[in-house]
Copies of this chain bind each other. A is one copy, B any other.
Amino acid sequence: MSKPLIFISNDDGISAKGLRALVEVAKTLGEVVVVAPDKPQSGKGHAVTIKFPLRLTKVEVFDDVESWMCTGTPADCVKMAKDILLKDRTVDLVLSGVNHGANTSINILYSGTMSAAMEGAIEGKKSIGFSLDDFSSEADFTASKYYIEKIIKRVLNFEGKQSLLLNVNIPNLPLQDIKGIKICRQSRGKWVEEFSESIDPRGVPYYWLTGRFESLEKDSTDTDLWAIANGYVSVVPSNFDLTRHSQLDDLDYLTSC
C-alpha cells in the first residue's frame, strides 16, 4: 500500500515550532506536503484574501518534506494547496497546527488553525486541528507529539466510512501527567473585559484587544475546557454546518403573513 498523502498547514506561520512538531510526527506516517503562512496569522478566523493577490514560495525548512509559504491566511493556504499544488493528487488527511495556545470553547471561531482544518473538511477530507495550551513560541511539544501520533494513526487505520473534523487540544503538562484522550463537546464561554485603553502621544485613546476567558458552565465534565483543565487531551468532533437544526420548527412567527 502506498503511503498516505498528508497535507499540513497552521496559523502561527512556516517557522513556528508547533508546525515543526506536527511535521516531524506526520512524516513518519505518510508523505507530507506543507503550505503555511509566511508570517503569524493568529486570530484570523476563517478570513480569506479577496483584495490582494497571493504568492506561493517554495522553501527548504523541513528535511524531505515539500514545503511552501503563502502570503495569505490559513484558509488561503489550504485553498492554494487544493487548487494549485495538489490539484492532481488525492489527499488522505489534512492537519493543522500545532497551535501555540488552546482553541477550546468558542475560540474555535477565532482560530486560524481550526479554519485551515475546516477548509479540509469542506473538501471532504478527514481533517484535524491540534493546539497546545501554551502560547509561548518556545512551548514544549514533547507530550503533544506522543498524542498526535496516536490520534493520526487511529484515524488513518479506521476502516469505516466517516467524515471527520476534529478540534484537538492538548494540556500543557508533562507526558506522564496527561490522563488520556477524552471525546467532548465545545464548552460555553466568552471573553470579558476585552480592551485595555492607552493614550497616544497626541492625546488620542487607542485600545488593545485583551481580556480573560470565562467558562459559562464550570460544573460540566463533558466539555473541552473541563478536559484540558483536568489533564486530558480534548477531542471535539466539529462541524461546518452552522444550522441550529433544533430551532428550525420554532420560527413560524417569522413567516406568518
A106 and B241 alpha carbons, distance in the complex (Å): 7
A182 and B251 alpha carbons, distance in the complex (Å): 10
Query: Is there an interface contact between A195 and B83, defined as CB atoms closer than 8 Å?
Result: yes
Mark interface residues in A2-14 (1 if CB within 8 Å of B CB, else 0): 0000000000000
Query: Is there an interface contact between A244 and B237, defined as CB atoms closer than 8 Å?
Result: yes
Given A50-B42, A79-B195, A254-B181, A56-B207 contact (CB < 8 Å): yes
**A contacts with B: majority SS:** mixed
Q: Which residues 181-230 of A sit at the B interface, judged by CB distance below 8 A? A: 181-183, 185-186, 188, 190-191, 193-195, 197-198, 204-209, 211
Is A250 in contact with chain B by the CB < 8 A criterion?
yes
Instruction: Identify which of A18-26, A27-35, A154-162 touches chain B.
Output: A154-162
Cβ 8 A contact of A239, one of B46, B180, B205, B243: B243
Cβ 8 A contact of A185, one of B80, B205, B248: B248
Query: Is there an interface contact between B46 and A190, defined as CB atoms closer than 8 Å?
Result: no
Q: Which residues 226-252 of A sit at the B interface, judged by CB distance below 8 A? A: 235-245, 247-248, 250-252
Query: Is there an interface contact between B245 and A185, defined as CB atoms closer than 8 Å?
Result: yes
Query: Is there an interface contact between A255 and B46, defined as CB atoms closer than 8 Å?
Result: no
A11 and B100 alpha carbons, distance in the complex (Å): 28
Given A79-B195, A181-B255, A53-B207 contact (CB < 8 Å): yes
Is A97 in contact with chain B by the CB < 8 A criterion?
no
Contacts of A50 in B (CB 8 A): 42-43, 209
Given A54-B207, A206-B54, A250-B80 contact (CB < 8 Å): no
Query: Is there an interface contact between A115 and B183, defined as CB atoms closer than 8 Å?
Result: no
Query: Is there an interface contact between A247 and B251, defined as CB atoms closer than 8 Å?
Result: no
